[in-house]
Chains A and B, each alone.
Chain A
Amino acid sequence: QKEVEQNSGPLSVPEGAIASLNCTYSDRGSQSFFWYRQYSGKSPELIMFIYSNGDKEDGRFTAQLNKASQYVSLLIRDSQPSDSATYLCAVTGNQFYFGTGTSLTVIP
Chain B
Amino acid sequence: GAVVSQHPSWVICKSGTSVKIECRSLDFQATTMFWYRQFPKQSLMLMATSNEGSKATYEQGVEKDKFLINHASLTLSTLTVTSAHPEDSSFYICSPKQGSYNEQFFGPGTRLTVL
- From A43, A49, A51, contact of B107 by CB (8 A): A43
Contact size range, B: 10 to 19
Q: Does A95 interact with chain B (Cβ within 8 Å)?
A: yes
Cross-chain pairs A/B with CB under 8 angstroms, 29 sampled = A31-B102, A32-B102, A34-B103, A34-B104, A36-B106, A43-B93, A43-B108, A44-B44, A44-B106, A45-B1, A45-B106, A46-B1, A46-B103, A46-B104, A46-B105, A49-B102, A49-B103, A51-B102, A88-B43, A88-B44, A90-B104, A92-B102, A96-B34, A96-B46, A96-B104, A98-B43, A98-B44, A99-B43, A100-B42
Name the CB-closest residue of A to B34: A96
- From B43, B49, B111, contact of A101 by CB (8 A): B43
Interface residues of B in 59-115 (CB under 8 A from A): 91, 93, 95, 102-109, 111
**The 7 residue pairs across chains A and B that have the minimum distance between CB atoms:** A43-B109, A100-B43, A43-B106, A32-B102, A98-B44, A43-B108, A98-B43
* Closest Cβ–Cβ distance, residue A72 to chain B (whole Å): 14
Q: How far is the CA of A43 from the CA of B109 in the complex (A)?
A: 6
By a CB distance below 8 angstroms, the chain B residues around A36 are 106
Name the CB-closest residue of A to B108: A43
Name the CB-closest residue of B to A90: B104
By a CB distance below 8 angstroms, the chain B residues around A45 are 1, 106
* 18 additional A-B residue pairs with CB within 8 Å, beyond A46-B105, A96-B104, A98-B44: A31-B102, A34-B103, A36-B106, A41-B91, A42-B109, A44-B44, A44-B93, A44-B106, A46-B1, A46-B104, A49-B102, A88-B43, A95-B34, A95-B46, A96-B34, A96-B95, A100-B42, A101-B43
Q: How far is the CA of A42 from the CA of B107 in the complex (A)?
A: 10
Is B49's CB under 8 angstroms from A95's CB? Answer: yes
Q: How far is the CA of A73 from the CA of B93 in the complex (A)?
A: 25
By a CB distance below 8 angstroms, the chain B residues around A51 are 102
Interface residues of A in 64-108 (CB under 8 A from B): 88, 90, 92, 95-96, 98-101
